[in-house]
Amino acid sequence: MTGSTTDQLGFTTDQLGWAPWLTPPAEHELTEAHREALVDASRAASPYFRLLARDPDILHARTKTDNDIFYNTKGGLPRPERELAATATSRRNGCVFCASVHARFAAHYSKRPDDVRRLLDEGVAAPQEGRWRAVIDASVALAATPSEFGAEHIEALRAAGLDDLAISDTIHAAAFFNWANRLMLSLGEPTSDRKAH
């Protein structure tokens, strides 16, 4: 196990590292299939993505799905709110690492670092204004097992000005982080020493 003690980490916008509990292939061991699965060549430097490359086909599908949900900005939900859905989902599920990354994105794109900070510090029930409230509530309801997402969440998103594509984007962004959180939380742990990675 590398890095500093992680038991003490709370939710933060600091840059964190992530240390795997299983051994990822070393960079020089990556085959052509591994590299293709990484989609973005620079991800070969990440122990997380190298570990997932042990099963290349699902890593490839995961990454292409992720990229379209978060980076396809043709209409739909604005980028800051997609990152907000990712952050709220990660906050609810308890993924300190995922929340740190996407809280930074949400704060950067929205220029609302104080609202993001409140979400991290006080949790998903902390006060937020209308549109953010609706996106956070929808994300939290979708994080529940069984799902607690209901017609009232769709109504609230519509009342906040979201069209159907934006509502679908909210659903996808929140749903995707139920995928991402479970991998990040169960295959390794965040470290406060990002230089290790």
Partner 1 sequence: MIDVIDHLVGIEPDSPLDRLREQRPDAREHAQRGFDALLTPDVPGAVSLVERDAVAAFVTGLHSDPRTARFYADRLAELAPELLGAVRLEIEAGSTTGPYGTYPADGPLAAESDEGLRYRTRQPEALGTRLAAAFEHAHLLVFRPREAGPKDLRALADAGWSDTAIVTLSQLVAFLSFQIRVVAGLRLLGAAQKETTS
Binding track, positions 68-97, relative to partner 1; x by CB under 8 A: xx--x-xxx---------------xxxx--
**Interface pick for partner 1 out of 155, 159, 161, 194 (rule CB under 8 A):** 155
Element spanning 190, H or E: strand 188-191
**Alpha-carbon gap, residue 26 to 50, rounded angstroms:** 8
**Alpha-carbon gap, residue 38 to 44, rounded angstroms:** 7
CB of 111 to partner 1, least distance (A): 26
* Closest to partner 1 by CB, 77 or 107: 77
Residue 21 near partner 1 by CB under 8 A: yes
Contact present, 91 and 117 (Cβ < 8 Å): no
For 23, 25, 66, 155, the CA distances from 149, given in Å and listed in that order, are 37, 39, 21, 11
CB of 22 to partner 1, least distance (A): 5
For 1, 22, 173, the CA distances from 114, given in Å and listed in that order, are 34, 36, 22
Residue 169 near partner 1 by CB under 8 A: yes
Binding track, positions 174-193, relative to partner 1; x by CB under 8 A: xxx-xxxxxx-xxx------
| Residue 166 tokens, joined | 């934006």
**Interface pick for partner 1 out of 16, 30, 52, 103 (rule CB under 8 A):** 52
**Interface pick for partner 1 out of 97, 137, 149, 190 (rule CB under 8 A):** 149
**Alpha-carbon gap, residue 140 to 92, rounded angstroms:** 6
Report the alpha-carbon angle 119-125-131, nearest 5.
Answer: 75
**Interface pick for partner 1 out of 78, 108, 110, 168 (rule CB under 8 A):** 168
Q: Binding segment for partner 1 among 41-49, 108-116, 125-133, 136-144 (CB under 8 A)?
A: 136-144
Residue 143 near partner 1 by CB under 8 A: yes
Cross-strand pairs, 188: 20
Residue 124 near partner 1 by CB under 8 A: no
